[in-house]
Structure 1
Amino acid sequence: MTDQSWAGVRQRVEAVGAGPGGGKVFGALGHKWVLEEPLNQDELAELEAQTGVRLPEEYRDFLLHVGAGGAGPAYGLFPVRRVRGRWRWEGDGAGLADLARLAEPFPEQGPDQKLVDDLLAQHPEEEDFDEMDGFDDAMETWDERWEAVMFAPERTVGAIVISHLGCAQREWLIISGSHRGTIWSDCRVDDVDLAPLLDDDGTPVTFARWYTGWLEKAERTALSVP
């Protein structure tokens, strides 16, 4: 998606938010249809210099021509802001991303399904214990292992959290590696591993498709309100 393809997107977002049906769109109470001002070229250059990586083209064009964050999928697109001279993304879970490792490629293999299956197979079941204390101890041990394995920092190098869906479910934008520019779902809180978002034809969803798909749906939702 080129910068010309983003033409009019900001105005469309503002129009949905100003309409009578804007409040019916999921997440609108979170982002309130506010879009931050776009970055200028110098700001984008400083952001990329600090992180040591060129952002995916669709996303960097969005930052330049639409906004630095705000209104967007779910509870909004996490804004990127300069705070005390340093650039960072802000939002619920944004701190999960290691900004010092954005240039490292996101793991090539993606989720390790065997690892997930093995962990889930070891999940304690209450009926297997004679006493509740034993079950509670087993659950605590399992939770600690799940978190240590599934939330290991090296599993999300080269990526940033860009959106929060509620209940600790999030979405990541891959910055580096073979999956660069695609959006991944993070439902690890519900014992589901990281996974790429896929279009109806199985194609990985890129940033532009993710954002414009949300906007098209939001427009339909808002227009359906009498």
Structure 2
Amino acid sequence: MHEAELRVGEVHGGVLQPGSSGVRERVIAVEEAERRARGRGPSRYPTFEPVLTPAEIAEVEAQFGVALPDEYRTFLAEVGAGGPGAGIRAHVVGRIDGKWGLVWENDEDHPWLLDPSGPFVETEDWADQQIATLCAAGYEPTTRDEDDDYLGGYRKVFGDAGDDDWFLEHGRGAIPISDNGCGMTGWLIIVGPHRGRLRDRDCAVNPPFEPYVDANGNRHTFRSWYLEWLEQHERAA
């Protein structure tokens, strides 16, 4: 990736406007203010990963065969390919062994590779979708799974690969967008009718994907979610 000095978005009526200035600098300023408040000196490391060039974003989209949501594309191009955000840190988009993927907790050996083969399956639709998947593979559950996760069915049908297949099916059409600590994660939907929306997932056994909402109960997009975090962060600092 190439470091570039691109203009970033600022808030106009709650909207991140591409091509204006503010958000990147505001995040860096509030991070530095927090370090000073804690008696720490300037960090030796950059606050954000380098932004992606238009050519690199085109490579990401070509590799996965999708168009990224506009707000997320703007973030990658003008703010950074990873850095501070809601939760502990936004996941990093990077090229590893010639492929683009999202890195979980700096674990470059296991990047998340978007599966664009179908739409993201909402939690309320999960059980019916998995029954259909198992039936298509020749296994028909005779009773509804008590936990509605159907992991046992995947293990019967797909053997040792069942756990991985089940996990990947859960995240099909979406990418991890934030590490929220203690196994909790945030996801951005890339494929399907809710493209550009976010989902929060707890660390319980088979937790549901829950929409991120604002104080008024409105569902967040990537832009409104990130700006809400930044404004709260600034007030706290």
Fold similarity call, TM over 0.5: yes
Q: Give the secondary-structure state (helix, strand or coil) at the position aligned to 1:184.
A: strand
Paired amino acid for 1:88: G
CA pair 158-112 structure 1, distance change in 2 beyond 3 A = same
Q: Name the structure 1 match of 2:96.
A: 83
User: Displacement of 1:96 after TM fit?
Assistant: 8.3
User: How many equivalent residue pairs?
Assistant: 189
Q: For 2:178 and 2:20, how far apart are their aligned partners in 1?
A: 20
Out of 33, 40, 60, which is 1:19 matched to? 33
CA deviation vs aligned residue, 1:72-124 (integer Å, no higher than 9, x gap): 1111111101123211111249958542x2252112xx112896x97359xxx
* C-alpha RMSD over aligned residues: 3.3
Q: Name the structure 2 match of 1:171.
A: 186
Paired amino acid for 2:229: W
Q: Name the structure 2 match of 1:119.
A: 146
Contact 2:103–2:112 at 8 Å: present in 1 too? no
Matched, 1:38 2:51: yes
Matched, 1:104 2:104: no
Please report the TM-score for the alignment, with normalisation by the length of structure 1.
0.71
The structure whose residues are more often strand, as a share, is 2
Q: For 1:64 and 1:199, how far apart are their aligned partners in 2?
A: 25
Q: For 2:232 and 2:183, how far apart are their aligned partners in 1?
A: 23
Contact 2:188–2:196 at 8 Å: present in 1 too? yes
Q: For 2:123 and 2:177, how far apart are their aligned partners in 1?
A: 19
Q: For 2:36 and 2:169, how far apart are their aligned partners in 1?
A: 39
* Matching of residues 137-176 of structure 1 within 5 Å: 152-176=167-191
Q: For 2:187 and 2:112, how far apart are their aligned partners in 1?
A: 9
Paired amino acid for 1:91: W
Q: Name the structure 1 match of 2:79.
A: 66
Runs of 4+ aligned structure 1 residues displaced above 3 Å come to: 20-24, 92-98, 117-121
User: Displacement of 1:213 after TM fit?
Assistant: 0.7
Q: Name the structure 2 match of 1:180.
A: 195
Q: Give the secondary-structure state (helix, strand or coil) at the position aligned to 1:46.
A: helix
CA pair 55-103 structure 1, distance change in 2 beyond 3 A = farther
Matched, 1:217 2:229: no
User: Displacement of 1:51 after TM fit?
Assistant: 1.2
Q: For 2:175 and 2:57, how far apart are their aligned partners in 1?
A: 16
Listed as ranges, the gaps of 5+ residues in structure 1 are 25-31, 122-140
Paired amino acid for 2:26: R
Listed as ranges, the gaps of 5+ residues in structure 2 are 1-14, 39-44, 128-143, 157-161
Q: Name the structure 1 match of 2:67.
A: 54
Q: For 1:195 and 1:23, how far apart are their aligned partners in 2?
A: 34
Q: What fraction of aligned residue pairs are identical, expressed as a percent?
A: 36
The structure whose residues are more often helix, as a share, is 1
Q: Which has the higher contact order (CA 8 A, sep 6+)?
A: 1
CA pair 204-33 structure 1, distance change in 2 beyond 3 A = farther
Q: Name the structure 2 match of 1:135.
A: none
